[in-house]
Amino acid sequence: EHPTTMTYNMDELKKRSVASTSHNISSNLKPTGKDEKAPASPKPSITEITRTHPTAYVIFASLLLDLLAFTMILPLLPSLLEYYRKNDNQLYGYLASSIKQFQLWIGAPERFTSVLFGGALGSMFSFLQFLSSPIVGALSDYYGRKPLMLLCATGIAASYGLWAYSESFLLFVIARFIGGISKGNVSLCMAVITDVSNQQNRGKAMALVGIAFSLGFIAGPMIGAMFARFSDKSGVLWFFAPAMFAMLLAVADILFLALCLKETHPKEKRSRQIINSLSHAIDHISIRALFRFSAVENLPQKDVRSLRRLGVTYFLYLFLYSGLEFTVTFLMYHKFGYTSIDQAKMFLTTGVLMAILQGSVVRRLPERLVQKSAVFGLYLIIPAFVIVGLAESSPVLYLGMILFAISTAFVVTCMTTITSQYGDFHQKGTVLGVFRSLGALARAVGPIVASVAFWCVGARITYITGGLLLLWPALMMQYLKL
């Protein structure tokens, strides 16, 4: 859809602005009723059409608060696992023996047991997101975005509060479980941005999500590292301070959303039915149904086919991507002897590069270049994988990771922008929820498969094979007809 030459009614433009529900100039603004005479009014200027809606900046700030709290735990995880190893012989002991058997089976050195343990927790978290994202998205199509955003934010805050008092590993796992189930907020953020944007400015608004992720993954681990450095890890509940700080950020997010976020999905545009039968609920969590986008009803067959191809492309990309992202930690330590500081420098370099690209280039992409940019990013990650696999020196490794970062800056944002164009207003939450859920499923299984490959056949074969396999999603995206 593109803006047409129709005359716009100024009252409707004002309503659209107040309700924050712009989607597309031609589809959102209804012509005046038969009995009304529309006064001659100027068409919206190009600046009005392309300007990012203020609500998108509210979402950016909310997501940044959420991600700062979420990524804080990453540098603390090794010390946390060590604490539970010494103080919890029940659940931790059972899981540790299972991880150890897996480690022996794939041939990983014993010093990587804690990394594999952390990977298992990360896979659980992603799997929970896979379950929650489409259901939360569908509920927001019925109840509105704001109530579900507040519910997710409350669940996230509760998970940090429980973590602060997690003397046992079981309580820590329950806290992570609550946090994972509540992480449907990311797909909700994208649904809100879709509500308040049109095809001309949606890419610019979606790039704010990517920038929030980049900044969150730069600053959050730094905050966590400071807590890790200055905490007395010999004490009981030494992690109480960082957990409470994370909860403080989460509570600030709740208050910020309650005060600043306006509902962007008005009642007249909401879905008329909730998930009211078991069969329909299964459409939101069944893997086969998710790949088929079965939860999204009454779409033209052409749109359904495009959505399914987008879903498969996104899954394949993130499945392979998350494998490199997870196993590159092993590579840096095992092959290059990188310390934690060396690894932090690498991830800081890639994170800053992604934030700069998303803020300066991706946000300014015109609509006609969004698909081409996604294709560019998918092709660029192929040499990135190959270079990382062949690297024998640190500069070559940095080159591969820089290409990896450039690719990342484009792909997810551009693919999400394309996906958000599908479905009616009352279906946007469901469409983006299913899309995010496929990504979460990829992140749940990708690191496990990549770890097995890394230790069984070696880094070189793993990364080169991964790079060649990425030709598949790249070609699918190139020949996708929107």
Burial (CB < 10 A; 0-12, 13-18, 19+), residue 154, is middle
Residue type, 42: P
Q: Which residue ranges make up each domain of the chain?
A: 53-282, 300-481
CATH number of this structure's domain 53-282: 1.20.1250.20
Torsion sign, CA atoms 120, 122, 123, 128: positive
Q: pLDDT class for 124, splitting at 50, 70, 90?
A: confident
Closest CA to 76 of 180, 156, 209, 166: 166
- Tell the residue number behind the tokens 């990013």, with chain if given: 377
| Amino acid at position 394, single letter | S
pLDDT at 271: 78
- In which band, very low, low, confident or very high, does the pLDDT at 89 lie, cut at 50, 70 and 90? low
Given a cut of 70, is residue 22 above it in pLDDT? no
| CA dist list (Å): 399 to 342, 388, 403, 406, 474 | 15, 8, 6, 11, 21
Instruction: For tokens 């190959």, name the residue.
Output: 386
User: 299-312: per-residue pLDDT in tens?
Assistant: 888 988 999 999 99
Q: Residue 27 pLDDT > 70, yes or no?
A: no
Specify the amino acid at residue 377. G
Residue type present at position 461: I
3-class secondary-structure state, position 462: helix
**What totals of helices (H) and strands (E) does the chain contain, helices first?**
21, 0
Q: How far is CA 383 from CA 130, 313, 399, in A?
A: 29, 18, 10
Statement: residue 149 has pLDDT above 90: yes
Q: What is the pLDDT of residue 31?
A: 43
- Evaluate if residue 278 carries a pLDDT over 60: no
Own/partner contacts of 99-104, CB < 8 Å, gap of 24 or more, are none
How many whole angstroms separate alpha carbon 426 and alpha carbon 141?
A: 5
Alpha-carbon gap, residue 184 to 155, rounded angstroms: 10
Residue 76 phi, psi (nearest 5) = -85, -15
Query: What is the distance between the alpha carbons of residues 397 and 49, in angstroms, rounded to a whole number?
Result: 43
Predicted local confidence at residue 45, as pLDDT? 60
Structure tokens at 349: 């370099």
Rounded CA-CA distance 68/458 in Å is 34
Q: Same CATH fold, 300-481 and 53-282?
A: yes
pLDDT, mean of residues 277-283: 57
What percent of the chain lies above the pLDDT cut of 90?
37
**Nearest alpha-carbon partner for 336 in 382, 376, 283, 393:** 393
What topology is assigned to 300-481 in CATH? Growth Hormone; Chain: A; (1.20.1250)
Q: Is the pTM of this model over 0.85?
A: no
Average pLDDT over residues 15-26: 41
- Angle (CA) 221-393-119 rounded to 5° is 35
Residue 122 pLDDT:
82
- pLDDT of 8 > 70? The answer is no
* Cα–Cα distance list, 151 to 143, 248, 259, 347 (Å): 12, 16, 15, 32
Phi, psi of 90 (to 5 degrees): -90, -95
CA dihedral 386, 419, 258, 56 (to 10 degrees): 80
The string of DSSP codes covering 122-191 is HHHHHHHHHHHHHHHHHHHHHH-HHHHHHHHHHHHHHHHHHHHT--SHHHHHHHHHHHHHTTTHHHHHHH
pLDDT for residue 263 is more than 90: yes
Is the pLDDT assigned to residue 47 strictly greater than 70?
Answer: no
Residues 358 and 207 sit within 8 Å (Cβ to Cβ) = yes
Question: 248 pLDDT exceeds 90?
Answer: yes
In this prediction, residue 19 has a pLDDT band, given cuts at 50, 70 and 90, of very low
The radius of gyration of the chain's CA atoms, rounded to the nearest angstrom, is: 23
Token pair for 32: 């005046």
CA-closest candidate to residue 450, choices 213, 95, 116, 111: 116
Which pLDDT band holds residue 48 (cuts at 50, 70, 90)? low
Residues 6+ apart with CB under 8 A from 153: 62, 66, 182, 185, 250, 253, 254, 257
